[in-house]
Structure 1
C-alpha cells in the first residue's frame, strides 16, 4: 500500500466547529471531552480520515490523512491503515461518501469501492457507523465556517430566505441544497451532476459531439469534474487540429495559469463559464 501508516503525518492543523445538534453523535456535554470519533470523506479518488472529539458544543478535528483510494482494496483497509497510524480504536464513526445513500450497501458513483455498512461496522468493532452523502456532509458544515473561510467570486446582494446550492467538482460533480425554513435548515443531497449537459453555443455543441463518441449519454459531470476538464481539453485540441496533449487536470490548469498553452487557457475558460 503506497500510502500506508508510515506515510502518515501525525501533526495536523486543528479546527473547532459547532455541533449541529444531531443525536446520533456521542456528546461531550457536561464539561468533559468525548471519546475520539472516526470521520471520513470518501470520494472516487481520495479517502480522507480524521479523528474528532466533542467538548460541549465544540467539535475539534485533529489528526488527519488522505489516502489514494486505488492503493486499498476496501474502505476498511484504508480506515485500518489510518487507525493503526494514530493508534486509536474509536467506537463510533461517520463516513461521508460520494454516492446516494439508499440502502445498507452503498455503491460509489465513481469508484469500484462498495460500503456494506453493517459488515464494516462489525469488522471494525464499532458501536455505530453512520454513512451520509458527501455533499450532504459538506452542506451541513457550510454555516459552521468563519467569514474568512470564504472567497467571493462575484459580488451581489444575497437573499437569506432563498435556497443555497453547494457544488463542487472532483472525480465527479457533487451538489446539495441548503433550504432555509422556520424549523431550521433542511439539507437535500442530490445527484445533480448526472443531469444531461446542455450546450449553449456552437463550440460547446462540438465538444458535446466529441464526448458522445466515447459516452452515449453526456452528463454535466463529463465536463465539470477533474476528468471533465481533460475531456474539454481533448475536444478543443481536436477542433483546433492540433496534436492532443495527454495532460491531466492539474497540468491543464497550470498551463492555463501560465498561459503556456492557448488551448489550455480556452479549456479552463469553458470549464468556468
Structure 2
C-alpha cells in the first residue's frame, strides 16, 4: 500500500490541503481541496474537516504557514487569528511528525520541481530551474518573500524571509499619496500594505479619492481593469504593477538575484496587463545598478498550488534525513 502524507498551504484567506504519495520519486499531489479559513475556528478544525472528507489517516505532514517560523513550538499567523503549538497539533492529528515551514519558503522549495508550462517567462533567460540565487516573491492576502540558493548537483536551500514587511519606499507623488493614506491607517507603510489584495483595493480607493471605507473587491478591480470596463480600475492596477516593479527590483538587488519568480494568488490573473504596465520600467529604475537588474530573469509562476508542491518537497526531504 502506498504511504501518503498530508500537506497544507495555510494563507490568510484560504487553507489548501492535499495528500502526497511519499514513495514517489517526485511529489505527486492528489485530493486537493481549498477551504475558506473564516469558516473554521482553528487550523485543527480545518484539518479534521479535510481528512474526514478524503477518509485518510496520514502519519506524516508538512504545513506551509503564512507566518514567521522561528523553530519555536508555538506558531501565530500574521493575517489570520489562528495560532497553535506544533507538538499539540501533531498529537491531535495522530501524526508521527509534523513539519512546519513558512508559506513562501514552501513556494521557493517548489521552484526546482516546476515544469515549463508551470511558469510564464517575462524577461531574460527562460531556463528552469533558474540560476541561483533566485528571489521568490508574490502578493496574495499578504506579500511573501523568500530566497532560493543552490543547484541540482549540490541541492537546493530555501531561505525564509519576512521581506514583505520591509518599509515601502515611494518614488513619485502618486506613491506618496498612497503612503499618506496607509500611514494614517496603520502608522507605517510596509511593502505588504500596498502589495496584497487589500493593498490593491486601498490604491484604488486613493486614486478614486474615495472614503477610507469605500474599498472595492480586489478581484473586481482586476476584472474591470483587464476587461477594459473601468478607467479607475485600470489606473489602480497599473499603479499596483508599477509598485510591484519597484519592490521586486529592490529585493532582487538585496538578494543579488540572478532570477526572480513572481508567485502568489494575484499576479497570474493579469500577466498580459503586467507586460504592458510600468513594471519593467520601475524594476530597472535602480540608478547606477540598472544594468545589473537588467540581467535578472523574470518569470511568473502559474502552477496552481506551488505552496503544496513545496510543502510536499519539504516533507520528503525531512523523511529522507530521518531514515
Q: Give the TM-score taking structure 1 as reference length.
A: 0.82
Q: Find out whether 1:200 has 2:134 as its counterpart.
A: no
Distance 2:213 2:74 in 1: 40
> Which structure has more helix as a fraction of its residues?
2
Q: Which residue of 2 aligns with 1:17?
A: none
Structure-2 change in CA distance of 1:123 and 1:218 (3 Å): same
Distance 2:180 2:139 in 1: 22
Deviation larger for 50-59 or 90-99: 50-59
Distance 1:161 1:133 in 2: 22
What are the residue-to-residue correspondences of 1:168-187 with 2, within 5 Å?
A: 168-180=138-150, 183-187=154-158
Deviation larger for 209-218 or 75-84: 209-218
Contact 1:37–1:91 at 8 Å: present in 2 too? yes
SS at match of 2:63: strand
Greater RCO structure (CA 8 Å; 6+ sep):
2
Matched residue count: 239
Structure-2 change in CA distance of 1:160 and 1:211 (3 Å): closer
1:270 is displaced (CA, Å) by 0.8
1:245 is displaced (CA, Å) by 5.2
Structure-2 change in CA distance of 1:267 and 1:116 (3 Å): same
Structure-2 change in CA distance of 1:37 and 1:232 (3 Å): same
Structure 1 unaligned segments of length 5 or more: list them.
1-32
Structure-2 change in CA distance of 1:68 and 1:242 (3 Å): closer
Q: Find out whether 1:254 has 2:229 as its counterpart.
A: no
Deviation larger for 242-251 or 184-193: 242-251
Aligned Cα root-mean-square deviation (Å): 2.1
Deviation larger for 146-155 or 220-229: 146-155
Q: Find out whether 1:210 has 2:181 as its counterpart.
A: yes
Distance 1:120 1:244 in 2: 37
Contact 1:237–1:244 at 8 Å: present in 2 too? no
Structure 2 unaligned segments of length 5 or more: list them.
243-323
SS at match of 1:55: coil
SS at match of 1:122: helix
1:168 is displaced (CA, Å) by 1.2
Instruction: Work out which of the residue numbers 66, 90, 94 in structure 1 matches 2:58.
Output: 90
Q: Which residue of 1 aligns with 2:9?
A: 41
Distance 1:93 1:251 in 2: 36
Distance 1:247 1:269 in 2: 16
What are the residue-to-residue correspondences of 1:42-191 with 2, within 5 Å?
A: 42-102=10-70, 103-155=72-124, 161-180=131-150, 183-191=154-162
Q: Which residue of 2 aligns with 1:226?
A: 197
1:185 is displaced (CA, Å) by 2.5
